[in-house]
Chains A and B, each alone.
Chain A
Amino acid sequence: MIKITDLEKIYRTEDIETVALNKLSFEVKEGEFVAIMGPSGCGKSTLLNILGLLDDPDGGSFVFNNEEIAHYSESKRAQIRKRNIGFVFQSFNLIDELTVFENVELPLIYLNMKASERKEKVEEVLKKMQVMHRRNHYPQQLSGGQQQRVAVARAVVNNPKLILADEPTGNLDSSNGNEVMQLLTDLNEQGTTIIMVTHSEHDARYSHRIIRLLDGQMVLENSLI
């Protein structure tokens, strides 16, 4: 599903050049659950942003669904993103001005789906995530765990092929964290590919494979299955 080869990302300021990704190569197959780990500054988030088409690589190849997309324009990337990729963030990143229902509905709006169809889909996913009873609440009215469930609901509502999770349990207590990890595992079992950046060895154990990064390079790859 994803194949990156010699991927590079360099941040430049006036005085310093920082190599975030240094000719990184790996492959993720459809249906895999991959955890990416490493110390702060190793390039995990940069990698996730490039995989999520939020950022451009400076070099190398990025093939997504057999398509080379490393240097696609922003609008083309937005098209691929909204049809194929769901995001789960550490800080949930729900829009404060929208209700739970509206937050989850948002990706479907960008897909120009009909209102009746949207309602059906959103309600289905909210039930699945067990936050249906909170559908008319605003994010600030929910607990951290509930907010992350909503974020996951939003990430999966358009049935993306790939979910990118950036430290999804980072802001949660262990019980809520476990619940979220279980949700991701369930989604993976239903066929969704998941790539998760995490600091937590515990969370990483939910994945099939751990890729460890250091200074923008892969230093170890553990298969857990």
Chain B
Amino acid sequence: MIRNYIKIAWRNLLKNKGYSAINIGGLAVGMAVTMLIGLWIWDELSFDKYHQNYDNIARVMQHQNFNGEIGTQFANPAVLGQQIRDKYGSDFKYVLQSSWNFQHTLAYGEKKLLKAGSFFEPGVTEMLSLKMLKGTRAGLKETNSILLSESVAKAYFGNADPMEKILKIDNKVDVKVTGVYEDLPYNTSFRDLTFIMPWDLYLAQNPWIKEMENPWGSNFTQTFAQVADNADMEKVSAKIKNVKLDVLGPEERRYKPAIFLHPMSKWHLYADFKNGLNIGGRIQYVWLFGIVGLFVLLLACINFMNLSTARSEKRAKEVGVRKAIGSTRGQLITQFFSESFLVVFFAFALSLLLVTLLLPFFNETADKKILLPWLNPVFWLMGISFSIFTGLVAGSYPALYLSSFQPVKVLKGTFRVGRFAALPRKVLVVLQFSVSIILIIGTIVVYQQIQHAKNRPVGYNRESLIYVALNEVIHSKYDALRNELKTRNVIVEMSQSTSPTTEVWNTNGGFDWEGKDPNLGVDFPNNGVSHEYGKVIGWKIKEGRDFSRELASDSLAFIMNESAVKFIGFKNPVGKILRWEGKPYKIIGVIKDMLVESPYKPIRASLFHIEREQGNIIQLKINPNLAPSDALARIENTFKKYDPATSFEFNFVDEAFARKFGDEERVGTLAAVFAVLAIFISCLGLFGLASFVAEQRTKEIGIRKVVGASVFNLWTLLSKDFVALVIIACGIAIPLAWYGMYQWLQKYDYRTDISWWIFAAAILGAMLITILTVSFQAIKAAIANPVKSLRTE
């Protein structure tokens, strides 16, 4: 029986090649989109699952009350790990202090490369279940040891054995390679951890950490933990809440630090906090794209339903005959489902091909490294289930509709589809276009929002501005280097700072001023800069003056931004005193707000002070009269002259700024691609439907022509129904799209308005696409010879 069904289905496919191509092509595109989104969601949901202890690992974080709001941060005092171990050791398997994953110069002989890595307390290899390719997980016992990732080991030693080899770190200290671990996958939070060194080495390199007067006063390291096997993460998290608060003096207790565990399972998808509460994060994109994927698949299924039912008159006779010779309705339903499954089978095969071809582009757009798991039985099981689901959805309506025909009517030739038979098809077309229009509007709003943020005034000049990491060697020769670069006219000016221009690396509390509420805990981004910083980045002085090398008093001076003035409440800030850790600092200038952090968030109250000892970053304003490549080559040569052991790596500030839009741009690009595909699928269906309508109305068109209708009259006649459907779709889509995008924009403090023209453009676009799609068939039918069309009856 099934063979017979498949045979009929196959011959039907061959007989109606155009229709089959539209059906299979449309479904394949829909399935490919859904599959790509499925792979993306799978990748997102399996983030960090590489680690065997995934369920028990957490990042130790803290909420603190700053400036009247609760802020949440990763940065902890370096002593936090030890304190937790001492007080709550039995609840944990590991509590590990770690440095930030910064870049360091690793040198082996003449080979010097910048690689990112961290210093960790013992246990990290076990906690992260690193797969050791050489050596053991106990490889960090010696202070001067290092574990390399496979790719870093290869970069230095090729196929030679790296074990026991000596590397020089940052031109300062020798370390021995004691192990090599498998590279951490791209979908893990530790993917950039390309080497690990012992925490003890970090302490030895930074003796000031142990010498700190108040080790709880600064948050500059990270803490990771693995709870004990049978421990409840939530309960342990609640237990350690006051571990920091309990050891603080009255001054710092004002910040009310609350320590908590953020489980690894939430790092990637639930990373955002607002006022002390977890408000989700990328999980919204998982939902969003999941819904988009389902809708795109639904659009493709709707095509199948519409084209199948539009052809119902052609299939009616077959249904009648089959029923007359004994087929039950159930058997007919099975037959039509077999047909849809055959189409879905071809579409699935084609979609696999499409996914294979599109995956590199998709990976690049979505910043992923997804591979098609050809050998994974789960993938095939899911693929088959997905195909069955698609077949059931796409085949359900045609199967139920076609099998319901009365044999009496169809066999006698009196069968005509009823007045309302096309209604479900119309509803489905409206649904298709509603989804497409929502996607168009969504895409435009996402782009608008990105553009809005990009156009936000940054308050400084990014042009010809680069930054370089500042190490100890360069630090000791800073003035000589600056002088040489300036003398050779390679740069306009050079400065140093503790935070880069596009990020905040350090904040400080301990500020006091006249009229401050004594219970208010404050914490400001506080960039320690050299005197030329403002000149290099081109900040705009609003009141007062810039720092000056000529005035020694500037070492106890602040320049603050407009937001700081507003927050503190000074009416005439210049000349006023702001006390920091008890010392009086004079406010010498106010600058216009600079956009340093998220382009979507309000600018924080920020301070700048002179700091010549603790700089991390050098900014260089390149001479605009030189070709950038030439200038960069000269800068590199000069840096190498002063620090031959370090490889010269630089970043353009505008590129660093552009990276802030990464997530939104990725969402925008993907939404645009999905919108285009959704429209393509909808148009494919519309095209097929229009051709059937034209075919069905051949006689009517012939008669109308004979009695005097022009091509334009007929084109209007055939197109107006579809245009009406799209107008209805606009009516449904616009409020839904407005509501959805309004909600989406609420997560941004700095957001665009949803302008009326977006809706106008979407309506116009949808209308134009519809008219173009339908016109081809309408005009073809309208210009056909009426004698011919009448004869076909």
- Tell whether, in the assembled complex, residue B325 and residue A154 are in contact, meaning their CB atoms are under 8 Å apart: yes
Q: Does B7 lie within 8 Å of A78, measured CB to CB?
A: no
Q: Count CB-based A-B contacts (< 8 Å).
A: 72
B207 at the interface (CB under 8 A from A): no
Taken together as a complex, chains A and B put the C-alpha atoms of A49 and B411 apart, in Å, by 10
**A215 at interface, CB cutoff 8 A:** no
Contacts of B11 in A (CB 8 A): 97-98
B518 is an interface residue with CB less than 8 A from chain A: no
B31 CB to nearest A CB, Å = 26
- Report B406 CB to chain A, min CB distance, Å: 8
Q: A8 — which chain B residues lie within 8 A by C-beta? A: none
- B331:A54 contact, CB within 8 angstroms: no
Stretch from A21-29, A86-94, A187-195 at the B interface: A86-94
Contact A110–B326 (Cβ < 8 Å): yes
Cβ proximity bits A74-86 to B, threshold 8 Å, 1 near / 0 not: 1100110111001
Contact of A78 with B318 in the complex, beta carbons under 8 Å: no
What does the 1/0 interface line of B11-34 toward A look like (CB < 8 Å)? 110010000000000000000000
Of A45, A87, A98, A110, which is within 8 A of B327 by CB? A110
The CA of A102 and the CA of B318, in the complex, are separated in Å by 13
B328 touching A89, Cβ below 8 Å: no
A95-B321, A107-B325, A110-B326 in contact; A89/B411 too (CB < 8 A)? yes
Q: Are A54 and B4 in contact (CB under 8 A)?
A: no
Chain B interface size range: 20 to 34
B115 to chain A, nearest CB (A): 66
Q: Is there a chain B Cβ closer than 8 Å to A38's Cβ?
A: no
B324 cross-chain contacts in A, Cβ below 8 A = 52, 54, 81, 87, 93
Give chain B residues whose Cβ lies under 8 Å from the Cβ of A220.
none
- CB within 8 Å of B: which A86-133 residues: 86-87, 89, 91, 93-98, 102, 106-107, 109-112
Min CB gap B594→A, angstroms: 73
A106 to B328, alpha carbons, bound, how many Å? Answer: 13
A179 within 8 A of B: no
Specify the chain B residue showing the minimal Cβ separation from A164.
Answer: B324
CA distance A158 to B708 in the complex (A): 55
Of the candidates B8, B12, B318, B330, the one whose C-beta lies within 8 Å of that of A75 is: B330
- Which of these, B4, B323, B411, contacts A109 with CB under 8 Å? B4
User: Counting chain B CB atoms within 10 Å of each CB, which of A52, A79, A89 scores highest?
Assistant: A89
Nearest neighbor of A107 in chain B, beta-carbon distance: B325
The answer to whether the Cβ of B329 comes within 8 Å of any Cβ in the partner chain is yes
Give the docked Cα–Cα distance between A132 and B91 (Å): 86
> When the two chains form their complex, are residues A98 and B8 in contact, meaning their CB atoms are under 8 A apart?
yes
Q: Which of A55, A93, A95, A111 contacts B8 (CB 8 A)?
A: A95
CA distance A142 to B407 in the complex (A): 24
Q: Of all chain B residues, which has the CB nearest A138?
A: B11
A81 to B323, CA, bound (A): 9
Please tell me if B772 contacts chain A, counting CB pairs below 8 Å. no
Residue of B whose beta carbon sits closest to that of A46:
B408
The reply to whether the CB of B454 lies closer than 8 angstroms to some CB of chain A is no
Chain B hits for A97, CB < 8 A:
8, 11-12, 15, 318
In the complex, A74→B7 CA distance in Å? Answer: 26
Specify which chain A residues have a CB less than 8 angstroms from the CB of B327 in the assembled complex. 78, 82, 110
Partner among A55, A78, A96 whose Cβ is within 8 Å of the Cβ of B326: A78
A106 to B466: give the CA distance in the assembly, Å: 79
Contact A106 to B325, CB < 8 A, known contacts A45-B412, A97-B12: yes
Does A74 lie within 8 Å of B329, measured CB to CB? Answer: yes
Q: How far is the CB of A21 from chain B (nearest CB, A)?
A: 13
Shortest Cβ distance from residue B19 to the other chain A in the assembled complex, whole angstroms: 14
| Set of chain A residues within 8 Å of B328, measured between Cβ atoms | 74-75, 78-79
Q: Which residues between 394 and 423 of chain B lie within 8 Å of chain A, taking CB atoms?
A: 406-408, 411-413
Contacts of B362-418 to chain A: CB distance below 8 A = 406-408, 411-413
Interface residue tally of chain A, by bracket?
Answer: 20 to 34
Q: Fill in one digit per residue for B303-321: 1 if any A CB lies within 8 Å of its CB, else 0.
A: 0000000000000011011
A207 smallest CB distance to B (angstroms): 22
- Chain A contacts for B552, CB-based, 8 A: none
B322 part of interface (Cβ distance < 8 Å):
yes
Verify B318–A109 contact, CB threshold 8 A. Answer: no
CB distance from A167 to the nearest CB of B (A): 10
B1 interface residue per 8 A CB criterion: yes
Nearest CB on A from B131, distance (A): 56
Tell me whether A102 and B4 are in contact in the complex, defined as CB-CB below 8 angstroms, given that A54-B407, A93-B321, A97-B15 are known contacts: yes
B4 to chain A, nearest CB (A): 6
Distance of B462 from chain A, by nearest CB (Å): 67
Q: Which residues in A have their C-beta under 8 angstroms from that of B326?
A: 78-79, 81-83, 107, 110-111
Report if A110-B325 is in contact (Cβ < 8 Å); known contacts: A54-B408, A91-B413: yes
Assembled-state Cα–Cα distance A87/B324 (Å): 7
A198 to chain B: closest CB distance in Å? 15
Residues of A close to B412: CB separation below 8 A: 45
Residue in chain A with minimal CB distance to B321: A93
Q: How far is the CB of B765 from chain A (nearest CB, A)?
A: 40
A112 to B328, CA, bound (A): 13
Bound CA span A86–B326, Å: 9
Distance A54 CA – B12 CA, assembled complex (angstroms)? 26
- Distance in Å: Cβ of A53 to nearest Cβ of chain B: 9
Chain B residues within 8 Å of A87, by CB: 324-325
**If the complex has contacts A45-B412, A55-B408, A93-B411, are A106 and B322 also in contact, measured as CB distance less than 8 A?**
yes
Q: Which of B318, B406, B407, B408 contacts A95 (CB 8 A)?
A: B318
A105 to chain B: closest residue by CB: B4
What residues on B are CB-neighbors of A81 within 8 Å?
324-326
A83 to B328, CA, bound (A): 13
Instruction: Determine the chain A residues whose CB is within 8 A of the CB of B331 once the complex forms.
Output: 110
A96 to B11, CA, bound (A): 10
Tell me which of A45, A89, A97 has the highest count of chain B C-beta atoms within 10 A of its own C-beta: A97
How many angstroms from the CA of A95 to the CA of B328 in the assembled complex?
17
How many angstroms between the C-alpha atoms of A94 and B317 in the bound complex? 9
Complex: chain A residue closest to B324, CB-CB: A87
Q: Which residue of A lies closest to B12 (CB)?
A: A97
Q: From B10, which residue of chain A is reached at the shortest CB distance?
A: A97
The reply to whether B325 and A94 contact each other, CB–CB distance below 8 Å, is no
C-alpha gap A25/B322 in the complex (Å): 29
Residues of chain A contacted by B318 (CB below 8 angstroms): 95-97
Name, among B4, B320, B411, B413, the residue most crowded by chain A CB atoms within 10 Å (CB to CB).
B411
- Among the interface residues B8, B324, B408, which one has the most CB atoms of the partner chain A within 10 A? B324
Q: Shortest CB–CB separation between residue A174 and chain B, in angstroms?
A: 23
CB pairs A–B below 8 angstroms (5 shown): A45-B412, A54-B323, A82-B325, A110-B327, A111-B326
Residues in chain A within 8 A of chain B (CB atoms)? 45, 49, 52, 54-55, 74-75, 78-79, 81-83, 86-87, 89, 91, 93-98, 102, 106-107, 109-112, 154
Known interface pairs A55-B406, A98-B11; 15 further A-B residue pairs with C-beta atoms within 8 A, sorted by A's residue number: A54-B411, A75-B329, A79-B326, A81-B325, A82-B327, A86-B325, A89-B411, A93-B411, A95-B8, A95-B318, A97-B15, A98-B7, A110-B331, A111-B326, A112-B1
7 nearest A-B pairs in the assembled complex, by CB-CB distance: A82-B326, A110-B326, A97-B11, A78-B328, A107-B325, A49-B408, A93-B321
Task: List B residues at the A interface (Cβ < 8 Å).
Answer: 1, 4, 7-8, 11-12, 15, 317-318, 320-331, 406-408, 411-413
